[in-house]
Amino acid sequence: MPSQNIDSIKTRFDSRLTTLEHLLKTAQAHFSDSESFLQERIVADMLPFGTQIAFTCNQPRNFALWCDNKPANNLDPEVNSLSQAYEHIANTKERLEGINVEDAKLDEVSRIDLGQSLYFELSGSAYLDDFLIPNFYFHMVTAYDILRKLGVPIGKKDYMLHLMPFVKKA
């Protein structure tokens, strides 16, 4: 059995998407009636918070598509409303739930198109470990950092939400 399996990958992505949704809800409460924080950035040459939501969702979304032998299909990076952001997260979670492949899929070598006539060929495990997971966390951390920069009251416990059920009082 591989060190990781499809179900554990689905669970990991799903729990972190729940964290992303929690961060979004916390920001929504902090900014009350404004959605303008969706356009905020850390620095001018980085993409805005709303785009970070889409790009975070793209990784598990494209994993689900890969599992179904379909090409990557990224979400529209222009996220201009909270409803659109929540919809991206919900639809991505739904795609994850629909994954129904054997763990042996992780051993398959596939061509991954990157656009601009570029591609690479990787096993499913390498695609996950070397491309999807790093990109997933990069965009999730960037979203978190934008909210911290804006003064949203979040901290490590919000980012590590998936561990909270295991925390015990001494």
Show pLDDT as tens, one digit a residue, over the chain (170 residues). 345 899 999 999 999 999 999 999 999 999 988 999 999 999 999 999 999 999 999 999 999 999 999 989 999 999 999 999 999 999 999 999 999 999 999 999 988 888 889 998 999 999 999 999 999 999 999 999 999 999 999 999 999 999 988 889 99
* Superfamily, domain 6-166: dinb family like domain (1.20.120.450)
106 touches 66 (CB < 8 A): no
- pLDDT for the residue 29: 96
Tell me the pTM: 0.93
Hey, where are the domains in the chain? 6-166
What sign for the dihedral angle of Cα 67, 70, 71, 77?
Answer: negative
Measured between alpha carbons, how far is 114 from 170 in angstroms, rounded to an integer?
A: 49
